[in-house]
Amino acid sequence: MTYQPVKLSDNQIAQFQAQGFLILEKFLDSEIVDRIDSRLDPLFATQLETGNYPDEWHGRPNLNLPNATRQMSGLWRCDRTIASLSLSAEIARLNATLGGWTGGRLATDSCWIKPPDAPEVLFHRNNTSVSCIDPATVITCWISLSHASAGALEFVPGSHLWPCHDRFQFLHAPAGDYRQPLWDAAQEVGLERSQVQLQTAEIPTGGCIFMQGDLWHGSGKNITDQTRRSFSISILPATSQFQPLGVGEGYIYSRYRSMENNVMDESFFPILWTQGGDRSSLVKAYCEDALSLGA
């Protein structure tokens, strides 16, 4: 099946800018979903097509509890089928268009697999993990690989506009209330818990949600008998550079910075789309584009 490019309307862009999110219930067809999903379990079984390891790896078979959430980031370096979606010009175009940017480069990709009884994921903002980058902002395209219901993504519309502060924290299986960082942020901006409008993203397979990097989100315990599987791609503005040494935090991103300048190396943060049609040379050499016309 041929992918049909998404034409974002002015109303959709305005909603994203005002609310911090945009849901497309139909985005990827089942063939592309199945192609990407089929590569996840082999990766967790250490079948790394390129021989490269991911940046993050939580929940390994036979090493963690059966209900542990499995999560990886930086999968595009491990598998070129995964990379064909993560490095897609189309997803970068959509993220950049929603952000009002002239182009987009890859920040990272990630998968989340929550089996039955999997614990909560702490509420957080994606921009917190890119404070070592200027501008410190990402937009994330979060794609459902299975119908997401209980234990699914929760978010607060408009919370990307809250003038609050937070620090990077470990997200998996929090010991306390997984919404506590959200309550702290709400209190900082003068909101009571009852005033916080939590929403659950019940997205069908192949659908997606675009999230502005300051949008507060997390997920509850999976109380169903079904495994929830999702994949996300986070995009930076194409013009991004690193902050000076010592400015901001870079849990993953700072591993790939030069110690002599602030330039973002396109080998690690490839430019995927610009209004002028630019793409990093490595992208075409490394993999196909899963969403190119005729793919």
pLDDT of 151 reads: 56
How many whole angstroms separate alpha carbon 120 and alpha carbon 178?
6
Tell how strand 271-274 and strand 103-114 pair up. Answer: antiparallel
Contacts of 114 (CB under 8 A, 6+ apart): 69, 151, 219, 222, 227, 228, 229
Judged by DSSP in three states, 271 sits in: strand
> What are phi and psi for residue 55, nearest 5 degrees?
-75, -35
pLDDT of 126 reads: 95
pLDDT of 294 reads: 38
pLDDT of 170 reads: 80
Q: What is the phi-psi region of residue 197: left when phi exceeds 0, alpha when psi lies from -120 to 50, beta otherwise?
A: beta
* Residue 160, burial from CB neighbour count under 10 angstroms (0-12, 13-18, 19+): buried
Instruction: State the virtual CA torsion across 79, 82, 87, 93 in degrees, nearest 10.
Output: -170
Strand residues in 82-207 grouped as ranges (E): 103-114, 121-124, 133-134, 139-144, 153-155, 199-200
**Position 281, amino acid:** S
Superfamily of domain 18-286: q2cbj1_9rhob like domain (2.60.120.620)
Comparing CA positions, the residue from 278, 284, 251, 254 lying closest to residue 268 is 254
How many whole angstroms separate alpha carbon 98 and alpha carbon 272?
15
**Position 40, amino acid:** L
pLDDT of 148 reads: 58
Taking 3-state DSSP, the helix, strand and coil percentages for the chain, each rounded to the nearest 5, stand at: 25, 25, 50
How many whole angstroms separate alpha carbon 281 and alpha carbon 276?
15
Which mean pLDDT values do the consecutive 10-residue runs of the chain (295 residues) have?
A: 84 98 95 96 96 92 78 97 98 98 98 93 95 97 79 91 87 89 96 96 93 96 90 98 93 93 97 96 95 60
Question: DSSP string of 65-95?
Answer: -TTPPEEEE-GGGT-HHHHHHHT-HHHHHHH
* Residue 111, burial from CB neighbour count under 10 angstroms (0-12, 13-18, 19+): buried
In this prediction the pTM is 0.95
